[in-house]
Structure 1
């Protein structure tokens, strides 16, 4: 039994899928069963000491979701690190589009095991070629200087409409994206990018509450990997709202190019976190976005930076 499977077994509420499967008003699966599938997706098969294998969900789009490969690569790295060391940063490059029809092999290079820090490098491989690379650093918990930015003033997540409510009028136009099962509950604070295109360009700022749509086992690495998965979902929307365009509704061609995260403080990914995103620049067919995660109490828990390919088709 793998590490995450053991954690799920220790928490039956997180490992059992209730029947019938809950759905949105449009019939899209949601809730604990969908979240359980994400947990299973992150529970990689160990092939060798430093080699792991992961798969993609059956309903994947034409290429593997970037948050999935980032989360799986981080799981692979974490499986080679002592449990008392916690990931504090990751730096990743998306090299080639992932093929959701075939497994992904993750090769871990044990770069360094120091007294306080452990460093790992992971390469994700399909069809004999690298599609993704990640470097991650793990650290023993320590005490030291402590300060953080304050969380912006925003409405409570319970006062905001669900993603299903927001997307209902756009479901047909958004196509398959609106029909994919979502393990992450999203509540938009600012107007969603797919609605902003109607009202025109606005400041390059995007805010959304999010949490795992169900209960997760008490496994620190799993919570970090779920947050890494979720961090790729809406970050580049901060670039799109500045120009009043959106994936699938306009001639925008895009993909994540690189992704970096710093984890500042402990958190749970199945509790509400605010994702406060902004874009300082877009140029040369690329857009840069930064994000800050705050927990419900207003504590800064993580920082994200990503650059994405953003082309307007002729």
Structure 2
């Protein structure tokens, strides 16, 4: 995938009837289906059953089995409730006879109310002064570990610029904090709020577990740790614009028992809080 249009094509599903929708997968550098893709496709399926202009405010999900990149994914949507203000949907994702993912999501009608938000961090390096993943590959590709080089070589519809540039060969423990700017490649001016939420859900599964790895970086890295998303939750607050850089500010309160937990906030460049994310992931040391 090269740009926004490619990503939108992947998130679009085929209507199979009876609230069943099918989707295909794309390789992003891992042997299994990317969790963010399943999240976003499941949300797309749920939105297909919302006809009262309500907008997603929260989702909660579990990854049950690794998805096969070669098989289509079938999403079944159940209407749990359509109340006076909120609509709730349950989505299950299947490959063959196996359930690989479940999602519960809630949609809210537009209402006026009180307002506050946590501010964005101050004095962060702006994205123009940082290296993107592509820049890192171009400048240091010959010196990077093989797995990292292969991962960075995959074409993506999003550009990522981490604020904290980490030397993979400097084995030292780091604070459990990740701040990364991101921006869509290509034109996103005609994308409506529903699709923006689906794209943001896709992006939210990138980078988040890295914060869990940092406190043990003297001995743990992507090459010797089995990592996978176990569950994923999001809360959506405000409309936003994808035309400029956005910030995903992540921290990990805890890692224990081969699981890591991380949470974060997503901001527009001018500091508007758009969404919050929480995820627990598998952090299993391998024997390699």
Q: What TM-score results when the alignment is normalised by the length of structure 2?
A: 0.92
Give the CA deviation at 1:208.
0.2
Correspondent of 1:155 among 121, 125, 128: 125
Paired residues of 1:89 and 1:136 also in contact (CA < 8 A) = yes
| Aligned positions of 1:8-157 closer than 5 A | 30=2, 34-57=3-26, 61-82=30-51, 84-153=53-122, 154-157=124-127
> Judging changes above 3 Å, is the alpha-carbon distance between structure 1 residues 127 and 176 closer, same or farther for their aligned structure 2 residues?
farther
Q: Give 1:166's aligned residue.
A: 136
Equivalent-residue separation in structure 2 for 1:262 and 1:271 (angstroms): 21
Give the CA deviation at 1:199.
4.8
Q: Give 2:240's aligned residue.
A: 267
Correspondent of 1:247 among 222, 227, 230: 222
Give the CA deviation at 1:155.
1.8
Correspondent of 2:178 among 201, 206, 211: 206
> Judging changes above 3 Å, is the alpha-carbon distance between structure 1 residues 197 and 101 closer, same or farther for their aligned structure 2 residues?
same
Paired residues of 1:281 and 1:288 also in contact (CA < 8 A) = yes
Equivalent-residue separation in structure 2 for 1:83 and 1:75 (angstroms): 15
Give the CA deviation at 1:172.
3.8
> Judging changes above 3 Å, is the alpha-carbon distance between structure 1 residues 197 and 260 closer, same or farther for their aligned structure 2 residues?
farther
User: Is 2:272 aligned against 1:299?
Assistant: yes
Equivalent-residue separation in structure 2 for 1:182 and 1:246 (angstroms): 22
**How many residues are aligned here?**
279
Paired residues of 1:196 and 1:241 also in contact (CA < 8 A) = no
| Aligned positions of 1:182-197 closer than 5 A | 182-192=156-166, 195=167
Give the CA deviation at 1:197.
5.5
Give the CA deviation at 1:83.
5.5
User: Is 2:155 aligned against 1:181?
Assistant: yes
Equivalent-residue separation in structure 1 for 2:247 and 2:104 (angstroms): 25
**What 5-or-longer segments of structure 1 have no aligned partner?**
1-28
Give the CA deviation at 1:80.
0.5
RMSD of aligned residue pairs (Cα, Å): 1.7
Paired residues of 1:92 and 1:135 also in contact (CA < 8 A) = yes
Detail structure 1 runs of 4+ shifted over 6 Å in the superposition. Answer: none
Equivalent-residue separation in structure 1 for 2:262 and 2:246 (angstroms): 18
Equivalent-residue separation in structure 2 for 1:205 and 1:197 (angstroms): 19
Give the CA deviation at 1:61.
3.5
User: Is 2:199 aligned against 1:226?
Assistant: yes
Q: Give 1:283's aligned residue.
A: 256
The structure whose residues are more often helix, as a share, is: 1
Q: What TM-score results when the alignment is normalised by the length of structure 1?
A: 0.85
Give the CA deviation at 1:191.
2.2
Equivalent-residue separation in structure 2 for 1:95 and 1:162 (angstroms): 32
Deviates more, 1:174-183 or 1:217-226: 174-183
Give the CA deviation at 1:275.
0.3
Paired residues of 1:162 and 1:187 also in contact (CA < 8 A) = yes
Equivalent-residue separation in structure 2 for 1:270 and 1:209 (angstroms): 13
